[in-house]
């Protein structure tokens, strides 16, 4: 029996009451842009509501506040790693020999470091993802935050996060629980993230320059992206957003001028915001034109979000090495900061081909369900769970490629019963678990931090039997925390 949380309100509806609130909320979602493009019935001209859980998930206030408070430290940690070439080089040295994708990113990093960067300022719009760790018999009061990972590239849901909170406010009111709305925390993620891009745009200081969004050929998560664009325009009507894929840019869609300005159709680019470029299949062309584009952007004067160093600072290998005894201490000279960060880390183990890696592999082969095996990938759907952990590790015995993975203790969040609502599917009453993401905004150069703030939150919830809960991928649902 896993630990359980109680739903914030009764969810024992009779079927007609359920039908009414669900139908109405689906319409509310459609009419307020809580939506995505359908993968199954794709049309560029239509959107579906995004999957959601009907009522907000109960979340301990103390742990929520801890996560919020911790965010500027997480930002600072990423900033410090991203500005430490030697640390990244040493940490990723073995990974680079066995993981061609990380190696390719690192090659760009080295190239630009050696020729000298044209833009000293970096913009980080990051998201630290946490779960509540709970042992089966633990009292509810002892749930603790556990960091899953930190995303430093294309960390989405700046729109869908806060809009899920608004959707839940609507539901709570419909259900006659309007008196509890103060337990749904405020969430300014969209304003904060777009505000970060606009700060970077101002620092670039060229009134005609645009913000470039690097996007996929088809953006399924289109509302999340477009609302960022609309918010930028709202905050500063003079700033234009241009959307391009890496393929378009690599096929002549962008040039660097003599001063290393990045130019697209005659327009200078001030800020590059990547919503794509974190996965190998986002560099599909045989001639490597997407990599050419990535290098061109990195060499340019534009402020990158993220620059390649921030991208690399978000790798799973870096996360694992940071958890090793003594490493945080090398990055921070402040014991209190180290203690606060370490407090949310969970067990992380190197799988390098040495004695330490062998011990970790043996431990996981003996008890595979206690661990998650992670390659250096982003975007969900890449990890290995359960029995397969043992199988993969046995196959990789004595194989240097084992080092392209890291091993992590599995976090077992408490279960919470909720209605899951998906397009073209009947509502399902299911046991769920959640992952909270806290956004952070950091702007700095190698010498100093110019801006560091917490930037709102998002909550994703999945059926407890699913290993991963990507909303776009189909197993997760939008949610928001109800603080108790």
Q: Which residues bind ligand ADP (CB under 6 A)?
A: 129, 148-149, 372, 374, 377-380, 382-383, 408-411, 435, 468-469
Which residue's CB is nearer to ligand ADP, number 68 or number 463? 463
- Cβ atoms 8, 484 nearer than 8 A: yes
Which residue's CB is nearer to ligand ADP, number 129 or number 479? 129
Min dist. Cβ of residue 122 to ligand ADP (A): 20
Q: How far apart are CA 52 and CA 49, in angstroms?
A: 9
Q: How far apart are CA 462 and CA 483, in angstroms?
A: 19
Hunting for tokens 């183990």 — which residue is that?
349
Mark the segment that binds Mg ion (CB under 5 A) among 222-230, 348-356, 370-378, 395-403. Answer: 370-378
Ligand-binding annotation for 422, yes or no, is no
- Cβ atoms 217, 245 nearer than 8 A: yes
Mark the segment that binds Mg ion (CB under 5 A) among 91-99, 206-214, 363-371, 376-384. Answer: 376-384
Which residue's CB is nearer to ligand ADP, number 127 or number 301? 127
Two tokens, residue 36:
């995505």
358 makes contact, choosing from Mg ion, ligand ADP, none, with CB < 5 to 8 Å by partner type, with none
274 vs 194, 197, 308, 370, CA distance in Å?
13, 12, 11, 34
Ligand-binding annotation for 84, yes or no, is no
Two tokens, residue 134:
């709970």
468 makes contact, choosing from ligand ADP, Mg ion, none, with CB < 5 to 8 Å by partner type, with ligand ADP
- Cβ atoms 264, 270 nearer than 8 A: no
The helix/strand count (H/E) of the chain reads as 15, 21
Which residue's CB is nearer to Mg ion, number 300 or number 432? 432
Which residue's CB is nearer to Mg ion, number 112 or number 131? 131
**CA distance from start to end of the chain:** 23
Q: Is the peptide bond before 379 cis (omega within 30 degrees of 0)?
A: no
Ligand-binding annotation for 44, yes or no, is no
Which residue's CB is nearer to Mg ion, number 209 or number 441? 441
For the window 143-162, what string marks contact with Mg ion as x by the rule CB under 5 A? --------x-----------
> Residue with CB nearest ligand ADP?
411
- The verdict on 231 binding Mg ion (CB under 5 A) reads no
3-state helix/strand/coil string of 241-254: EEEECHHHHHHHHC
Min dist. Cβ of residue 314 to ligand ADP (A): 8
Element (H, E) at 308: helix 308-313
- Cβ atoms 244, 290 nearer than 8 A: no
Min dist. Cβ of residue 108 to Mg ion (A): 20
**Residue ranges of the binding site for substrate:** 225, 460
**Residue ranges of the binding site for Mg(2+):** 187, 378
Residues that bind Mg ion (CB under 5 A): 151, 378
């Amino acid at each position: 029996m896993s630990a359980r949380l109680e739903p914030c309100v009764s969810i024992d509806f009779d079927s007609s009451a359920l039908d009414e609130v669900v139908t109405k909320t689906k319409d509310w979602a459609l009419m307020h842009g809580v939506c995505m493009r359908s993968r199954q019935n794709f049309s560029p001209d239509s959107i579906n509501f995004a999957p959601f859980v009907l009522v907000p998930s109960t979340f301990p206030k103390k742990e929520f506040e801890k996560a919020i408070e911790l965010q500027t430290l997480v930002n600072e940690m990423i900033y410090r790693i991203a500005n430490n070439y030697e640390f990244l080089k040493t940490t990723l040295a073995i990974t680079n020999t066995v993981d061609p994708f990380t190696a390719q990113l690192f090659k760009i990093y080295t190239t630009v470091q050696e020729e000298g960067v044209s833009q000293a300022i970096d913009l980080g719009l990051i998201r630290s993802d946490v779960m509540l760790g709970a042992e089966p018999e633990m009292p509810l009061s002892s749930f603790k935050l556990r960091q899953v990972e930190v995303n430093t590239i294309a960390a989405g849901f700046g729109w869908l996060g806060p809009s899920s909170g608004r959707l839940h406010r609507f539901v709570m009111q419909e259900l006659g629980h309007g008196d509890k709305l103060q337990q749904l925390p405020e969430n300014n993620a969209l304003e904060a993230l777009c505000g970060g891009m606009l700060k970077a745009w101002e620092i670039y200081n060229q009134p005609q320059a645009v913000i470039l969004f690097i996007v996929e050929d088809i953006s399924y998560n289109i509302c999340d992206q477009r609302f960022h664009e609309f918010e930028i325009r709202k905050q500063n009507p003079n700033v234009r957003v241009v959307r391009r894929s890496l393929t378009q840019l690599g096929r002549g869609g962008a040039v660097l001028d003599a001063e290393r300005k990045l130019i697209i159709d005659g327009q200078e680019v001030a800020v590059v915001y990547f919503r794509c470029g974190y996965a190998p299949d986002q560099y599909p062309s045989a001639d490597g034109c997407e990599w050419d584009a990535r290098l061109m952007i990195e060499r340019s004067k534009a402020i990158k979000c993220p620059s390649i160093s921030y991208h690399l600072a978000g790798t799973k290998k870096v996360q694992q090495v940071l958890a090793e005894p003594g490493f945080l201490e090398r990055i921070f000279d402040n014991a209190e900061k180290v203690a606060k960060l370490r407090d949310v880390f969970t067990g992380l183990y190197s799988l390098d081909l040495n004695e330490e890696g062998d011990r970790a592999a043996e431990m996981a082969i003996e008890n595979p369900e206690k661990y998650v095996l992670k390659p250096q990938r982003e975007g969900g759907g890449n990890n290995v769970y359960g029995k397969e952990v043992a199988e993969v590790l046995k196959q990789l015995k004595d194989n240097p490629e084992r080092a392209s993975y890291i091993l992590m203790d599995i976090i077992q969040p408490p279960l919470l019963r909720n209605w899951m609502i998906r397009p073209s599917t009947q509502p399902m009453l299911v046991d769920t678990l959640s992952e909270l993401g806290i956004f952070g905004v950091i702007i700095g150069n190698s010498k100093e931090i110019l801006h560091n703030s917490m930037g709102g939150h998002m909550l994703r919830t999945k059926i407890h039997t699913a290993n991963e809960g990507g909303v776009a991928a189909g197993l997760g649902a939008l949610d928001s925390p109800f603080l108790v």
